[in-house]
Amino acid sequence: MRVWDCFLYSQPKAKRTAKPTGFKLNNKMKKYTKEQLIKKYQNKFIDIYGEFDYKKQIWFFEVRSVKSEIWENHNLPEEATKGYN
Protein backbone atom coordinates (compact mmCIF):
# COMPACT_ATOMS: atom_id res chain seq x y z
CA MET A 1 0.00 0.00 0.00
CA ARG A 2 1.33 3.42 -0.91
CA VAL A 3 1.47 6.40 1.40
CA TRP A 4 -1.34 8.09 -0.49
CA ASP A 5 -3.57 5.01 -0.15
CA CYS A 6 -3.12 5.06 3.63
CA PHE A 7 -4.11 8.71 3.71
CA LEU A 8 -7.04 8.14 1.37
CA TYR A 9 -8.59 5.33 3.38
CA SER A 10 -8.00 7.06 6.70
CA GLN A 11 -10.40 9.80 5.59
CA PRO A 12 -14.18 9.49 5.90
CA LYS A 13 -15.91 8.04 2.86
CA ALA A 14 -17.39 11.41 1.84
CA LYS A 15 -13.89 12.84 1.28
CA ARG A 16 -12.69 9.89 -0.83
CA THR A 17 -14.52 10.93 -3.97
CA ALA A 18 -12.57 12.85 -6.56
CA LYS A 19 -13.72 16.40 -7.06
CA PRO A 20 -13.29 18.33 -10.31
CA THR A 21 -10.60 20.97 -10.15
CA GLY A 22 -12.56 23.49 -12.19
CA PHE A 23 -10.18 23.18 -15.15
CA LYS A 24 -11.96 22.30 -18.40
CA LEU A 25 -10.30 21.09 -21.55
CA ASN A 26 -11.85 22.27 -24.77
CA ASN A 27 -10.47 19.86 -27.35
CA LYS A 28 -13.09 20.59 -29.99
CA MET A 29 -11.30 22.49 -32.71
CA LYS A 30 -13.13 23.36 -35.90
CA LYS A 31 -11.95 21.51 -38.98
CA TYR A 32 -11.67 23.22 -42.37
CA THR A 33 -11.19 21.97 -45.90
CA LYS A 34 -8.44 23.48 -48.03
CA GLU A 35 -10.83 25.87 -49.82
CA GLN A 36 -12.49 27.01 -46.57
CA LEU A 37 -9.09 27.61 -44.99
CA ILE A 38 -7.86 29.75 -47.87
CA LYS A 39 -11.09 31.78 -47.92
CA LYS A 40 -11.30 32.41 -44.16
CA TYR A 41 -7.62 33.09 -43.39
CA GLN A 42 -6.66 35.05 -46.49
CA ASN A 43 -3.64 37.34 -45.88
CA LYS A 44 -3.05 35.89 -42.38
CA PHE A 45 -0.24 33.62 -41.23
CA ILE A 46 -1.46 30.34 -39.76
CA ASP A 47 -0.10 27.20 -38.14
CA ILE A 48 -2.16 24.16 -39.14
CA TYR A 49 -2.41 20.43 -38.48
CA GLY A 50 -3.74 18.22 -41.26
CA GLU A 51 -5.84 15.08 -40.81
CA PHE A 52 -6.93 12.77 -43.62
CA ASP A 53 -10.50 11.42 -43.56
CA TYR A 54 -10.35 7.99 -45.18
CA LYS A 55 -14.11 7.67 -45.58
CA LYS A 56 -14.53 10.94 -47.48
CA GLN A 57 -11.01 10.83 -49.01
CA ILE A 58 -10.32 14.49 -48.16
CA TRP A 59 -7.92 16.45 -45.96
CA PHE A 60 -9.22 18.43 -42.99
CA PHE A 61 -7.16 21.06 -41.21
CA GLU A 62 -7.17 22.34 -37.64
CA VAL A 63 -5.84 25.86 -37.13
CA ARG A 64 -3.48 25.92 -34.16
CA SER A 65 -2.76 29.66 -34.19
CA VAL A 66 -3.23 32.78 -36.31
CA LYS A 67 -0.85 35.74 -36.62
CA SER A 68 -1.22 38.97 -38.55
CA GLU A 69 2.53 39.19 -39.22
CA ILE A 70 5.03 36.55 -40.26
CA TRP A 71 6.02 34.26 -37.40
CA GLU A 72 7.97 31.07 -36.86
CA ASN A 73 6.14 27.99 -38.26
CA HIS A 74 3.33 30.19 -39.61
CA ASN A 75 2.60 30.45 -43.33
CA LEU A 76 -0.06 31.84 -45.61
CA PRO A 77 -2.88 29.30 -46.18
CA GLU A 78 -1.88 28.76 -49.80
CA GLU A 79 1.68 27.82 -48.79
CA ALA A 80 0.65 25.82 -45.70
CA THR A 81 -1.70 23.54 -47.65
CA LYS A 82 0.60 23.12 -50.66
CA GLY A 83 1.77 19.60 -49.69
CA TYR A 84 -1.71 18.23 -49.03
CA ASN A 85 -3.44 16.89 -52.15
Question: Mean pLDDT over residues 34-38, rounded?
Answer: 96
pLDDT of 17 strictly over 70: no
Whether pLDDT at 18 is above 60? no
Q: Using 50, 70 and 90 to split pLDDT, how confident is the model at 28?
A: confident
SS (H, E, C) the chain: CCHHHHHHHHCCHHHHCCCCCCCCCCCCCCEECHHHHHHHCCCCEEEEEEEEECCCCEEEEEEEEEECCCCCCCECHHHHCCCCC
- Is this prediction's pTM over 0.85? no
Could you state, in order of their start, the residue ranges of all structural domains in the chain? 21-80
Tell me what the mean pLDDT of segment 19-43 comes to.
81
Q: Pick the range with the lowest mean pLDDT from 3-7, 45-49, 67-71.
A: 3-7
